[in-house]
Homo-oligomer: A and B are copies of this chain.
Amino acid sequence: PVDLAAHDPLATPLAPGKKKKTRKALSDQGDELSELQRRLYAGTPGERRVLVVLQGMDTSGKGGVIRHVIGMLDPQGCQVAAFKRPTEQELRHHFLWRVRRQLPRAGQVGVFDRSHYEDVLIGRVRELAAADVIEGRYAEIVRFERQAAREGAVIVKCFLHISPDRQRERLLARLDEPTKRWKFNPNDVVERRLWPAYRRAYEIALERCDSDEAPWYIVPSDRKWYRNWAVGRLLLEALANLDPQYPPIDYDPGEQRCLVQSS
């Protein structure tokens, strides 16, 4: 059973140092990340792809991770999908319908900014579906992710874990800074008051939907520099384990060399 109270949002497990050193460690691994991504994009055999799922309360830093970590990658090989409140059309379909359509194509690193987990998080807390429907979704999610893994996806799910105090600070910062006000929504306060219910919903989702094919990682996120480094590290490890290789070529380079030179 997952007990989020036992995970300190301020912790920095395995960090290579404090703020400065850890930031540098993230940027230092840019070349390795790029090289692995290039091989994946080049068409490593096996329809391989990577999916990073980002979940967390408002202000936990999903956008920051995308900017600072995914921003290190080549845009040619990235697909970011943000899952906002479902549209009318989406609501007429099964909850996984819109998610399946956004799965990364072979060779790509896909990022989900929120995901199908919303359907067992806000869905559960706000009772957006009948209780038994919600209950059934956990097993559906596990099956869905297992299928995606079978089709070549390496799945890394990150729960960006922040404290309610840190959230208050960050919400106030959004209100105080005119260029950040667009990020604030009065509904954020309503959701914030439901913190214990969300924490519980996260605990259940993290517990029931953790699998070998699609593990959950609890990323302490009160410190932005740690959060970015940690997600970068998880992405790097996922890519390294996938071990992408340039695809075999089906022509003779020497022969083609002659043809190019004489053309």
**Which residues of chain A have a CB within 8 Å of any CB of chain B?**
38, 42-43, 63, 66-67, 70-71, 73-76, 78, 80, 82, 111, 113, 168, 171-172, 175-176, 178-179, 181-186, 189, 192-193, 246-247, 249, 251, 253, 256-257, 259-261, 263
- Contact A182:B259 (CB < 8 A) given known A74-B67, A75-B71, A75-B80: no
Give, as a whole number of angstroms, the nearest-CB distance from A61 to chain B: 12
Interchain CB contact under 8 A, B71 and A186: no
Among residues of B, the one whose C-beta sits closest to the C-beta of A109 is B75
Tell me, in angstroms, the Cα distance from A180 to B110 when the chains sit together: 24
Q: Beyond the given A184-B256, A186-B259, could you list 16 further A-B residue pairs with CB under 8 A, ordered by the A residue number?
A: A38-B179, A66-B76, A67-B76, A71-B71, A168-B260, A171-B260, A172-B261, A175-B257, A176-B253, A181-B249, A181-B253, A182-B247, A182-B249, A186-B251, A189-B259, A189-B263
If A186-B256, A260-B171 touch, whether A178 touches B74 (CB-CB below 8 Å) is: no
CA distance A43 to B73 in the complex (A): 25
Which B residues lie within 8 Å of A189 (CB)?
256, 259-260, 263
Q: Which residues of B contact A66 (CB under 8 A)?
A: 74-76
- B76 & A74 in contact (Cβ 8 Å cutoff): no
Residues of chain B within 8 A of A193, CB atoms compared: 263
Chain copies in the assembly?
A: 2
On whether the beta carbons of B78 and A63 are closer than 8 Å, the reply is no
**A184: which B residues are within 8 A, CB to CB?**
249, 251, 253, 256
Closest approach, in angstroms, between the C-beta of A3 and any C-beta of chain B?
A: 24
Which residues of B sit under 8 angstroms from A71, Cβ to Cβ? 71, 74-75
Give the chain B neighbours of A259 by CB distance below 8 A.
186, 189
The minimal Cβ–Cβ distance linking A66 to chain B, given in whole angstroms, is 5
| Chain B residue with Cβ nearest A186 | B251
Closest 3 CB pairs of A and B: A42-B182, A70-B75, A189-B259
